[in-house]
Amino acid sequence: MLEALTGTGLAASAGLNAYIPLITMGLLARYTDMIDLPTGWSWLSNGWTLLILALLLAIEMVADKVPVVDHVNDVVQTVVRPTAGGLAFGAGSSSETVTVSDPGSFFGSHQWVPIAAGVVIALVVHGVKALSRPVVNTTTAGFGAPVASTAEDIGSVLMSVLAILLPVLVLVGLVVMVLGTVWVVRKRRRRKALAASGAPGLSG
């Protein structure tokens, strides 16, 4: 099951930031022995690939920290993050890492399964992120956007590293995400209830 946890952690990370898990895998594969990418995914460790991903990451990190712009960015990322999640899950779950020595034994020849699973996981995480940002922006008058975005970036980095080095701890990260989802749902329901009742002040 370590292969599944590795793939799940990387896909969830992509749901927060599309480029961080791909860059993490690429850098670790290029400069360390912590992950050995299969032949079909070796392009992730290519220098040009890493440079392009780094540039896209820089754009994403800036755009995601500006109120209103972050919403536009989330709309665009609705396609990008699930795609990255599929790539991350596919590459991560089929790679030999410090904890996974026989990745092929889990998914066998069904190569589309991990990619499809990664797309779904990343899409769900992205959906929660996209829904939570308006709540954060409204309750903080926009000042919470850069804080929330920075926390998401840190979470994406931690999830990516844990997925490769300590995949069992991915379960902890998933629990945190579930709790975050519950918070978002409750906040949105409260905002709608206050709006429907005409009560002033939605930031309480």
Taking residues 6-23, report their average pLDDT.
92
pLDDT in tens, 31-42: 998 888 888 888
pLDDT in tens, 134-185: 877 777 776 778 888 898 899 899 999 988 888 878 888 778 877 777 776 6
pTM here is: 0.81
Taking residues 23-51, report their average pLDDT.
91
How many Cα atoms are found within 13 Å in the side-chain-facing hemisphere of 126? 28
What pLDDT does residue 40 have? 81
Residues 9/173, Cβ–Cβ less than 8 Å: yes
Query: Which of 86, 93, 99 has its CA nearest to residue 37?
Result: 93
Structural domain spans, the chain: 2-197
pLDDT in tens, 52-61: 999 999 999 9
**Torsion angles phi and psi, residue 35, rounded to 5:** -145, 135
Taking residues 62-79, report their average pLDDT.
89
- The yes-or-no verdict on residue 1 having pLDDT over 80 is no
Cα separations (Å) of 166 from 33, 102, 107, 193? 15, 16, 20, 42
pLDDT in tens, 71-122: 888 898 999 999 999 989 888 877 767 666 566 655 555 667 778 888 999 9
